[in-house]
Amino acid sequence: MSAILMDGKALSAKVRGKILEETHCLEQTGVRPGLAVILVGEDPASQVYVRNKEKACVECGFYSEKYVLPAETTQDELLGLVDELNHNERIHGILCQLPLPKQISEEAVIAAIDPKKDVDAFHPSNVGRIMIGDYDFLPCTPAGVMELLDEYGIDPKGKRCVVIGRSNIVGKPMSMLLLHRHGTVTICHSRTENLAEICREADILVAAVGRANFVTPDMVKPGAAVIDVGMNRVDGKLCGDVDPAVAEVAGYMTPVPGGVGPMTITMLMKNTLKAAQK
């Protein structure tokens, strides 16, 4: 058996096409979705992400602004820019690329972004709304995972779902979205005992641990859907948290690259469109 590969690139193109249509409709009312992206410092991976976000804005017909600040930027300077963008009517979404230099508190910056423009869904009030199931925006990577599951007809309802990783950006919100869809969810992490045994029970296994090839075939239930959120570089090559050999056991699997990655940026576009519509 070889897993069906879940094509995030193809789904991303389809969703962006729908976003472009809705953008054209919105423009008839005099509103064009606007996204501001802030990059502090010269982190190479962040620079790549920002370029990809700019490209996505063009594809979706959005107005965009990019602010590249030096690594020595102070917290007050960055908060001042965020405040300006909060009051800028052309900007509907604000994204500050993480990580930030050590002199700047990520928590302070996230808290300073207007929740109505928080298209990353990191603001504490948006996180709280996700917990209770009454949200405007979803964190982009977990939202992309849910779109992929829907596209391939994989319904979490009644299924055993295991999420490896408990980050605020992926692991925790991912578990909540699966729970909202009536999955029975287990969150695993570095201190989980009998991890492989727990993973083998999963009908849907989400790996978001940040360790290359961490999930091996012996950890996967035959026929399971395996979602690889990992983005690691080994010898200059991009690879996920899931060993490619898992494809021989799983029923469905997301490739790296070309799986969850393209969907993450597309969900950012979807959130920005929603912010403009509201």
In a domain, 105, yes or no: yes
**What is the CATH classification number for the domain harbouring 189?**
3.40.50.720
Tell whether 149 and 68 lie within a shared domain: no
- Residue 120 is among the residues annotated as catalytic for this protein: yes
* 166 is an annotated ligand-binding site residue: yes
Cis-peptide into 99, omega within 30 deg: yes
Residue 155 lies in a domain: yes
Residues 181 and 98 both lie in one domain: no
Instruction: State the pairing for strand pair 225-228/63-69.
Output: unpaired
Residue 140 · residue 264 · CB < 8 Å: yes
Q: The domain containing residue 235 runs over which residues? A: 139-260
Q: Are 164 and 208 spatial neighbours (Cβ–Cβ below 8 Å)?
A: yes
Kindly state whether residues 104 and 153 are assigned to the same domain.
no
**165 appears as a binding residue in the annotation:** yes
For the range 219-225, what are the long-range contacts, defined as Cβ-Cβ under 8 Å and sequence gap of 24 or more?
Answer: 219/195, 220/246, 220/249, 220/250, 221/249, 222/1, 222/249, 222/250, 222/251, 223/1, 223/250, 223/251, 224/249, 224/250, 224/251, 224/252, 225/6, 225/149, 225/152, 225/154, 225/250, 225/251, 225/252, 225/253
* 125 inside domain: no
Same domain, 109 and 143: no
Residue 268 lies in a domain: no
Same domain, 166 and 56: no
Q: List pLDDT tens digits, range 50-61.
A: 888 999 999 999
Considering 7, 97, 117, 241, which one is annotated as catalytic? 97
Catalytic choice (7, 118, 120, 243): 120
Residue 103 annotated as catalytic: no
Tell me whether residue 72 is in a domain: yes
Q: Does the residue 126 lie in any domain?
A: no
CATH number at residue 91: 3.40.50.10860
CA-CA distance, 121 to 139, in Å (whole number)? 5
pLDDT at residue 1, rounded to an integer? 64
> What pLDDT shows up at residue 271?
98
- Do both 104 and 190 map to the same domain? no
Note whether 83 and 147 are same-domain residues. no
Say whether both 148 and 247 belong to one domain: yes
Q: 161, 184 in Cβ contact below 8 A?
A: yes
> Do 110 and 144 fall into the same domain?
no
**Both tokens assigned to 140:** 């982009």
Could you read off the pLDDT tens digit of each residue along the chain, which spans 278 residues?
A: 699 999 999 999 999 999 999 999 999 999 999 999 999 998 777 788 888 899 999 999 999 999 999 999 999 999 999 999 999 999 999 999 999 999 999 999 999 999 999 999 999 999 999 999 999 999 999 999 999 999 999 999 999 999 999 999 999 999 999 999 999 999 999 899 999 999 999 999 999 999 999 999 999 999 999 999 999 988 888 899 999 999 999 999 999 999 999 999 999 999 999 999 99
One domain for residues 165 and 255 = yes
Q: Are 37 and 81 members of one domain?
A: yes
Residue 275 domain-assigned (yes or no): no
Q: Is 53 a catalytic residue?
A: yes
Structurally, how many domains does the chain consist of? 2
Residue 46 is assigned to a ligand binding site: no
pLDDT of residue 44: 79
In a domain? residue 224: yes
- Taking CA atoms, 30 is separated from 25, 59, 73, 171, 183, in Å, by 9, 19, 35, 38, 41
